[in-house]
Structures are given as structure tokens and as C-alpha cells.
Amino acid sequence: MSRFQVVSGKGGTGKTTVAAALALALATEGRRTLLVEVEGRQGIAQVFETEPLPYEERKIAVAPGGGEVYALAIDAERALLDYLQMFYKLGSAGRALKKLGAIDFATTIAPGVRDVLLTGKACEAVRRKDKQNRYVYDYVIMDAPPTGRITRFLNVNDEVAGLARIGPIHNQAQAVMRVLKSPETAVHLVTLLEEMPVQETADGIAELRDAELPVGRVIVNMVRPHLLDEDTLRTAAGGRRKEIAKALTRAGVTGSAGLVRPLVEQAAEHAQRVELEREQRAVLAGLELPGYELPLIGEGMDPAGLYDLATELRKQGVGEGAGQGVGT
Amino acid sequence: MTQRTGTATTGTAGATEDGSSPDPVEGTSTGPAVDLPSPTPALNTDALLDDPGIRIVVCCGSGGVGKTTTAAALGVRAAERGRKVVVLTIDPARRLAQSMGIDSLDNVPRRVPGIKGEREGGREGDGSGELHAMMLDMKRTFDEIVEAHADAERARAILENPFYQSLSAGFAGTQEYMAMEKLGQLRARDEWDLIIVDTPPSRSALDFLDAPKRLGSFLDGKFIKLLMAPAKMGGRAGMKFLNVGMSMMTGTLGKLLGGQFLRDVQTFVAAMDTMFGGFRTRADATYKLLQAPGTAFLVVATPERDALREAAYFVERLAAEEMPLAGLVLNRVHGSDAARLSAEHALAAAENLDAVGIVDQTTGKAGLRDRADHSVAPDSPEVVATPGSAPDAAPDVTPDNSEREDTAEQKNTEDHEPTASDRVPTASVEELTAGLLRLHAERMQVVAREQRTRDRFTALHPEVAVTEVAALPGDVHDLEGLRAIGDRLATGSDPAGAA
Ligand SMILES: Nc1ncnc2c1ncn2[C@@H]1O[C@H](COP(=O)(O)OP(=O)(O)OP(=O)(O)O)[C@@H](O)[C@H]1O
Ligand SMILES: [Mg+2]
């Protein structure tokens, strides 16, 4: 598996949740993963139910089997000051720039500078090695911006390399692009079995491919169990109401007469939903991409649910093979 | 337990098998609608839409909750009740845009055909209503501002500047800023009784309030002046005014960004200079417009934790900004007309029937999947794997072929029930009924979870008026679908249905 796993998808489909589960799933025995977020929303802290994360890599979870998950909430402003410090030893000048509003300018207004910093920081973590020349993180997983913005976000370094034609920013931008366009990176899209997210997924994949960014997998999230098969439902709606009413009474339900209509209606809605889901599955199948599928955690998400999702991902093959030392 | 019943959803989204299309409001009268300690005030959507004093309705909320659909449905309803309406949508789903005939992106309001002047049940409709709709094109809007506020030569210099080209296509907050800019423009034209605005799918529901201010403060900032200094003064005259600190700064930036980039920025800033005052003034004016009594905010949320948390922030923020909140639209609410049968009871009954089934049941294709009883058991901490995620299944979203064939076959045989039932001759009534009960139990669990989430919001903000829209099984594709949502918006706060 690629060492840099980018998780995008339509808003609200579960990007943050899936990225966290993926970071847990990839942290198999002895491995270390880094989960990064870039939108300044403290989403990671929310899913792990911990305090807000500082701009600092810290251990946030131990995976089943002993791997470790680190987390980092990348802050564009801090990342910029870090860069200035790192490359130019600009301690005091950095502060002066900040006073003038230049940092604000760079991180909130100037096109792409913010995204350059965020992707740059993530790529730095991907490439970082320790004294023994081993990768510090086996995998870096990014909770990325949504589908509508992901291509532009990842490609921003191309744009910047074009705008700033020379100088260290130019070089840095090109180095980041090399990582992002290599097989070291995989961009996954999270979707639900609903029309809008599936459509957005299809569009997003086309855009990523156009930009020559490596598309990873489609991750279908919040898949609901099918309780009844559709044939049964058809039969149910087709005039067995009296029988059903009797069966309800036999099962100990009182006042069953009034319940049959709503129960059958609910079943019809369910059948309709199942049908819609099938259609969406067919659309996804047409994309000809490998995928993962995660169940809906019916009781609502909590850290336990996250571990369940990670287990599910492992069952589907996440974390097998590859790891330390693969890819450069 | 409080189970606020929603409306039956099959009536509008597709006929039920036996063709009965329950009246959307019928179901609401059967359940114990409100037994909260203090009932949530109802949001009277029609009164809002009919109020001639209301000129702007802003639909806000976090991403993916249905803001755009709500805005469109309100637009259709208001127009059909006789108002001249324009809906400003942002990033509408393709089919939603198509339903209003605005799937071509042109940043100009267009009349939506098919609006009925007078509707059955609509009180005000006198045939004078009109609906116009548009999709925000942020780059186009930015270009228009430049064209309108700079002379031709300067405008060209700006539009061709590479820095501007990147900036207008997407600096953080451009969309938010441009949405507010467009709102100001539409309002200034004074051609519509009512403007309904969708807000961008921001990372935070509040961005559209903050972006104009951020831009404003940036434009007033020292940094801009510093950047402008060399370009404005030019050559040696400029150099004289640059103190050591400043030259170090521009030097640093030049080193970081490359000289050409900095020159582009400077040219851009200089060219924009004359427009800055205008930007700031308009951002301030739009902000005041949002505070005016003719504006009403509707916060849209789904009954989920995150969405309602954002909604709560938003309610607080609006209060802090003295912006008028009309209420909360709770979208995609699940209800049940069989709410009096609890999940626990339904599951117990299903088990009773299972016992019968074991005795009676012949072999053959089972009508129920056996994992069903695990997945809805209330004490089961996790949902059991679904077919595609079974441990032995390949990690692939491609449905297996048999499933695909099923779909095709079922489509063809949709109207021929004998065929379908022939294939499952063995589904006993016990199995069937047990399945219905389990489905119901699942539904009741969703209803209960949504209710808990809502209760948390209500506890925080008991004063906020609420209307709710039942979850539809499918997406909205046409005006009829938008009307159905409009009906729910109008009746969703009123358990007795429309007056
Ligand atoms: N498999 C799942 N089962 C149940 N709930 C889930 C599942 N995945 C995600 N959720 C819930 O769905 C909601 C949205 O998830 P999440 O925040 O991960 O989405 P996101 O794509 O990151 O959203 P955003 O676009 O706002 O960043 C959360 O409340 C989360 O707990
Ligand atoms: Mg997220």
C-alpha cells in the first residue's frame, strides 16, 4: 500500500472517521502511522474524543496488536513560521511579518499558499527518516478537503511552481508534487450509497485522473444491513395484509390491525432505498476501482466504533504486506 | 418515550405497491407529537414566506444537510403563493439544478418554468408569482466587480494578472465573499419581492459571515500598503521611502516567492487599489443588510450530532451579530406511523414468530437474512457485516454478478408480482411479519437516536422555532419533489397538519 493515504469524499460522508479508522488499521504490529488533518476543525480530536490537538505530533491511540497512531492537526500559520525558521532562520523577521499581517495574508488570502504549506508539511512527514535511515512513519493518512476541492488542493504546488518560477518555494513545490504524483500516494474517496455522493465521487475521480493524481480506492461508508430481501417485500405489499395482521396478533402485538399499513409502508420505503442503493452500486462498479466497504455503526460513532471500523478494514486487507522500507 | 412521528414518505417519492399514496400530513396525527417538557415553538414557514416585510431569507447550516434543496423548495413555495422570488443557489447537485432548469452556469437569474400561480391549498396565489433561479459563479462575479469598478485599461490589467486569476478562482473565502456580494447586487436591483439565498458548503457554517470581514481587514491592512508601496511609487522615488525593515521584508518575500511573483502581486494590488474602498463599503453594506429586519435566517440541520452542534453555534453567533433568526429546519427526520410499537416490543414479537418459523418452515430460499436479528438487537454494540463486507468477500465494491442480474430482472418484472413471488414460494407469513417487525425496530432506533440528538439542541436553545422535513427515500429531481418538500416545510411544525 502507498505510504501516503489521502482520504477525501463528499462532505459528511465520513472522511474524518474513515481516515482515523484507516490510521488504526494500518498501525499493525510495531508499525507507526501519522494521521493528519488540514482544515483546522479538530476533527481528529472529536473522533477520538480527546482534547483539541496542538500543532505537534503526538500519540493518540494504540492499535490492536500494538501499533501506534500519532496525530497532527496542521496549522497553516504555524507551518509557515516553521518553514521560515527552517529554511531561512527568520525568527524575528517571521514575527515582524506576522505583525504586518503578512502571515495572515499568506495563510488565508494568498492563493494556494495555505494549501502549499499543508501539503508540504504532510509530505515532509511522509519522507522523514530517523538516524537509522528508516521512515519515522510507516504510513501517513490525511483527512483531506472534500472532493470538490481535493484536486486543486493537491495540485496547488503545480500552480505555485508556475507562479513562483524560481527560488526555494518553487523547488519545494516541485518536490511535493513529485511525492503526490508518485505511487507513494493514493487518494481515496469516501462515499455513501446515495446519488449525490456517488455522482461526486465519479466526477472527483475523473478530475483526479485528469490531473494525473493517483486514485486509490472508493470507500463505501455507512452501509446499512438489508433486513428483508426485496422479493419478500413485494409479496408483503401484495395483499397479505390480513395474514400479517393475524401473525402480529399471534406474536403478541396488540392492536395489530392499525399497524399493518405503516409496517408495510416502511417496508416499501426500505425496498425503495435498497433499489436506489443497488443503482448506486452499479454506478460505482462502472468506475472499475477497488474498494472497501464499511458498515453503518447504528448506535452512533464513538472510539469503540472506530476500532470496529478498523477491524473491518483489516478484514478487507488493509495493512497486509508492505510497510517499512517500501517505496522511496 | 417521545416519538415525534414524521410524515409518510412513500406518497410523494413513488407510489407504494398497492398504489395507496398516503397524504403527507395524515401520519402526523397518529403519534404523540409533543410531550416535551416545554413544547418547541413551531416555525410558521408560510407566514414567513407571505410576509411582505421579509425580503431576504438566508438558508445556512453545515455541509450536506440540504440547504440548497431547502432554499429551492422555499423558492417554489413562495412563488406559488404569489411572490416574485429569486433563489441564489451555490453548488447545487446536478439534478436539483436541472429540476429548476438552471443546469447551465451563467451567473444570471433565469425564470423557472412550470410555476403554478395558484395552487390548491395555497392561500395567496393569484397567478402573479414568479420564480427565478441562478447558480453562483464566483469567478464570473469577481470579474464583474472588477469590470464595474475599474476603468477599462485597469480592468484588463487586473483580469490578466496571474495573481488575480488564481485569487479569483479560489482563495479561502472567495465563494463566501462572492455569495454575499451577489446577494447585495440582487437586493440593489430591487426586482424581486423575496431573495432566498443558499450559503456555500463551507468548512464551517459561519465562514460566510466571516469571509467578507476577513477580506475587509486584509484590505485595510498594513501588509497590503507595504506591498503597494514600491509599485505605487516606483523606482528610486519609492526606494527613498522604504526604510530598512521594509526593504528587508520585500527582499525576504522576493527570496521566498521569486521576484516575478512579487511583482505580479504588486501590480495586482496597485491595480486593485482604487477598488478596495468599494469592496470594503459593499462588504459592510451587505453585513448591515443581513442585520436588517427584512432579513430572516433559517438554520438547516439534520437530526445528527455534528449538524445540530453547528446549528447551535450558528444560533449563538446570529444572536451575537444581532441577525434575525426565523428558526430551525430539521431536515431528513425519520418518523413512524407505528410509533406506539416500541423497538423492544417489535423485536420480542419477531422472536416469537421465529420460534413458529423453525417449526413450520420448509427449506428453500429464506425470506429473511439470518444476520438480521443481530444487527438490530439493542444490546449489540456493533452492526454485523453486510454482504459486501463479509470477511471472505473480496474488498471490492463491484457487486457480484448474481446481484446485478437480480436488479435487472427485478426491473423487468416490477409489475408482475406472480413472477416475483414465484421465486420465493416459501416466504411464510411468519418470516415476513418478523421481517417487518425487525425493520420497524430499526426504524424506531433511528427515531429514538434522532430524538435524543434533538433534545440536546432543544435544551440549549428552547426558544428556537422548529419545522421538520421527513426523510425522503430518494433525491429530489423535479418541481414536484420540491413542492413536496415545501409542503413539509409548511406543515412540519404542526402536528395537526396544515390548517
Ligand atoms: N460508519 C459509520 N457509522 C456510523 N456513523 C458514521 C460512520 N462514519 C461516519 N459516521 C458519522 O457521520 C458523521 C460524519 O462523519 P465525519 O465527520 O467523519 O465526516 P466528514 O466527511 O469528515 O465530514 P466533513 O465533510 O464535515 O469533514 C459523524 O457524525 C460520524 O460519527
Ligand atoms: Mg471531516
Interstrand relation of B84-89 and B130-135 (parallel, antiparallel or unpaired) = parallel
Measure A91 CA to ligand 1 centroid, in angstroms.
39
Judge contact between B247 and B254, C-beta under 8 A. Answer: no
pLDDT at residue B281, as a whole number: 76
Domain holding A136, by residue range, is 4-224+296-314
- B250: confidence class by pLDDT, cuts 50, 70, 90: low
- Count of domains for chain A: 2
Q: Smallest Cβ distance to B410: which of A225, A230, A250?
A: A230
Top-ranked range on mean pLDDT: pick from A173-177, A271-275, B210-214: A173-177
- Domains assigned to chain B: 36-206+287-333 (3.40.50.300), 343-384+391-449 (no CATH)
Residue among B266, B308, B433, B449 with most chain A CBs within 10 A, to mutate:
B433
Residues A101 and A132 in one domain: yes
| Per-residue pLDDT at B73 | 96
Q: Is residue A323 part of a domain?
A: no
The predicted structure's pLDDT at residue A237: 59
Q: Mind telling me how many Å the CA of A228 is from chain B's nearest CA?
A: 5
Is residue A160 included in any domain, yes or no? yes
Among the bound ligands, name the one nearest to the CA of residue B389.
Answer: 1
- In chain B, residues with a C-beta closer than 8 Å to the C-beta of A248 are 349, 433, 437
pLDDT tens digit string along B101-133? 766 657 889 899 888 864 444 444 566 899 999
- Cα angle A104, A106, A107 (rounded to 5 degrees) comes to 65
Residues A237 and A213 in one domain: no
Q: What's the full length of chain A, in residues? A: 328
Strand partners, B196: B57, B87
Q: What number is the average pLDDT over the span B67-94?
A: 90
pLDDT, tens digit (0-9, with 9 covering 90-100), for B459-482: 999 999 999 999 887 778 889 999
One-letter amino acid for residue A219 of the chain:
I
- Find out whether A41 and A26 touch, Cβ atoms under 8 Å: no
Share of chain B above pLDDT 70, in %: 56
One domain, residues A250 and A139: no
- Which chain B positions have a beta carbon within 8 Å of A305's beta carbon? 382
* A198 CA → ligand 2 middle, Å: 18
Closest CA to B440 of A224, A204, A172, A266: A266
What is the length of chain B?
499
Considering the domain boundaries, does residue A123 fall inside one?
Answer: yes
pLDDT band at B414 (very low <50, low <70, confident <90, very high): very low
Per-range mean pLDDT, top range of B14-23, B178-187, B188-197, B305-314: B188-197
Q: Are A15 and A141 in contact (CB under 8 A)?
A: no
Task: Calculate mean pLDDT across residues A279-295.
Answer: 95
Instruction: For residue B290, give the nearest of B322, B329, B315 by alpha carbon.
Output: B322
What is the pLDDT at residue B423?
43
Q: Which one of A16, A141, A312 would you pick to mutate in the ligand 1 pocket, going by the greatest count of ligand atoms within 8 A of its CB?
A: A16
Kindly give the distance from the C-alpha atom of residue A150 to the centroid of ligand 2, in angstroms, as a whole number: 13
**pLDDT > 90? residue B379:** no
- A270 and A283 co-located in one domain: yes
Domain co-membership, A220 together with A241:
no
The closest CB to that of A169, out of B258, B383, B473, belongs to: B258
- Over residues A29-50, the mean pLDDT reads 92
Vertex B473 angle, CA B373 and A8, to 5°: 90
Residues A237 and A177 in one domain: no
Specify the CATH number for the domain of residue A185.
3.40.50.300
Give the residues surrounding ligand 1 with Cβ less than 6 Å away.
A 9, 11-17, 43, 146, 221-222, 294, 296-297, 301, 309; B 63, 304-306
Residue nearest to atom 31 of ligand 1 (CA): A301
Structure confidence at residue A68 (pLDDT): 96
Is there a single domain that holds both residue A178 and residue A231?
no
Beta strand B110-111 pairing with A291-295: unpaired
**Is residue A127 pLDDT above 90, yes or no?**
yes
Calculate the average pLDDT of chain A: 86
Percentage above 90 pLDDT, chain A: 53
**What is the distance in angstroms between the CA of the first residue and the CA of the last residue of chain A?**
13
Q: What is the DSSP letter of B387?
A: G
Looking at the complex, does the CB of residue A56 fall below 8 Å from at least one CB of chain B? no
- B91 reaches A (C-beta below 8 A): yes
The least confident of A90-104, B262-276, B298-312 is A90-104
What pLDDT shows up at residue B6?
A: 39
* A39 and A174 part of one domain: yes
Residue A155 within a domain: yes
pLDDT on residue A291: 94
Angle CA A257–A258–A264, to nearest 5: 90
Q: Which segments within chain A are labelled E, that is strand?
A: 4-9, 32-37, 58-62, 68-73, 139-143, 185-191, 215-223, 291-295
CA of A12 to the centre of ligand 1 (A): 5
8 A C-beta contact, residue B378 and residue B344: yes
Ligand nearest the Cα of residue A296 is 1
* pLDDT value at residue A295: 95
Q: Provide the pLDDT for residue B272.
A: 65
> Taking residues B52-67, what's their average pLDDT?
90
> Which value, in Å, is the radius of gyration of the alpha carbons in chain B?
28
pLDDT at B194 over 90: yes
Per the CB < 8 A criterion, the answer to whether B334 and B471 are in contact is yes
Q: What is the DSSP letter of B368?
A: B
Q: Do B427 and A231 touch (CB under 8 A)?
A: yes
Predicted confidence band of residue B16 (pLDDT cuts 50, 70, 90): very low
Q: What SS3 state is found at B379?
A: coil
Residues of chain B with C-beta less than 8 angstroms from the C-beta of A163: 162-163, 166, 257-258, 261, 264
| Chain A from 258 to 287: CB within 8 A of any B CB | 258-259, 261-270, 272-273, 275-276, 278-279, 281-282, 284-285
Q: Quick one: residue A317, left, alpha or beta (phi over 0 = left, psi -120 to 50 = alpha)?
A: left
Q: Are residues A233 and A103 in the same domain?
A: no
Model pLDDT for residues B2-13, shown as the tens digit of each residue = 344 433 333 333
DSSP H helical segments within A49-128, as ranges?
A: 76-88, 91-100, 102-104, 113-127
Q: Which of residues 99-128 of B touch A (CB under 8 A)?
A: none
> Residue A194 falls within a domain, yes or no?
yes
Per-residue pLDDT for B198 more than 60?
yes
CA angle B102, B105, B106 (to 5 degrees): 100
Residue A70 inside a domain? The answer is yes
Of A108, A14, A54, nearest to A312 by C-alpha is A14
pLDDT band at residue A226 under the 50/70/90 scheme: confident
pLDDT score for A188? 98
Percent of chain B with pLDDT over 90: 29
Taking alpha carbons only, the member of A96, A84, A100 closest to residue B227 is: A100
Q: pTM for the full model? A: 0.74
Where helices occur in chain A by DSSP H, the ranges are 15-26, 43-48, 76-88, 91-100, 102-104, 113-127, 147-163, 168-180, 195-210, 230-237, 241-250, 257-286, 303-315
Tens digit of each residue's pLDDT (9 = 90 or more) over B380-402: 333 333 333 334 434 444 444 44
A-B Cβ pairs (cutoff 8 Å, strict):
338
**DSSP E strands: which ranges in A182-270?**
185-191, 215-223
Distance B304 CA to ligand 1 centre (A): 10
Provide the pLDDT confidence category of residue B364 given band limits of 50, 70 and 90.
very low
Q: Which residue is it, cell 390480513?
A: A242
pLDDT of residue B92: 75
Question: What does the CA dihedral A157, A162, A167, A169 come to, rounded to 10 degrees?
Answer: -20
Same domain, A117 and A171: yes
What are the pLDDT digits (tens) for A55-72? 899 999 999 888 999 999
Note the ipTM here.
0.75
* Residue A146 and residue A219 share a domain: yes
Would the pLDDT of B287 be above 70? yes
Same domain, A117 and A243: no
Least trusted range by pLDDT, from A25-34, A296-305, B68-77, B410-419: B410-419
Determine how β-strand B325-333 pairs with β-strand A58-62. Answer: unpaired
**CA distances from residue B42 to B7, B26, B493 in whole angstroms, order as listed:** 16, 18, 5
By DSSP bridging, strand B295-301 and strand B325-333 are parallel
A262/B350 CB distance under 8 A:
no
Q: Is B143 a residue whose pLDDT tops 70?
A: yes
Give the β-pairing of B110-111 and B130-135. antiparallel
B252 touches chain A (CB under 8 A): yes
For the ranges A130-134, B160-164, B166-170, B347-351, the lowest mean pLDDT is seen at: B166-170
B328 close to B469: Cβ distance less than 8 angstroms: no
Q: Over range B301-318, report the average pLDDT.
A: 90
Evaluate whether A69 touches A23 at the Cβ level (below 8 Å).
yes
Q: Which three cell numbers stand for residue B489?
A: 416545510
Q: Phi and psi for B135 in degrees, rounded to 5? A: -115, 130
User: Between the ranges A131-145, B201-215, B230-244, B249-263, where is the mean pLDDT highest?
Assistant: A131-145
CA distance A222 to A270: 16
The pLDDT assigned to A158 comes to: 84
The residue written with cell numbers 393475524 in the block is A246
Output the CA A47–ligand 1 centroid distance in Å.
Answer: 9
**Residue among B5, B10, B17, B431 with most chain A CBs within 10 A, to mutate:** B17
pLDDT for B400: 42
Helix A230-237 to helix A257-286 angle (10° resolution) is: 140
Which grid cell is B73? 423548495
Interface test with A, best of B227, B382, B413 (most A CBs within 10 A): B382
Question: How far is Cα B371 from Cα B29, in angstroms, rounded to an integer?
Answer: 35
A230 has pLDDT over 70: no
Per-residue model confidence (pLDDT) at position A104:
62
- The C-alpha atoms of residue A71 and residue A55 are separated, in whole angstroms, by 9
How confident is the model at residue A178, as a pLDDT? 94
- pLDDT of B257 > 60? The answer is no
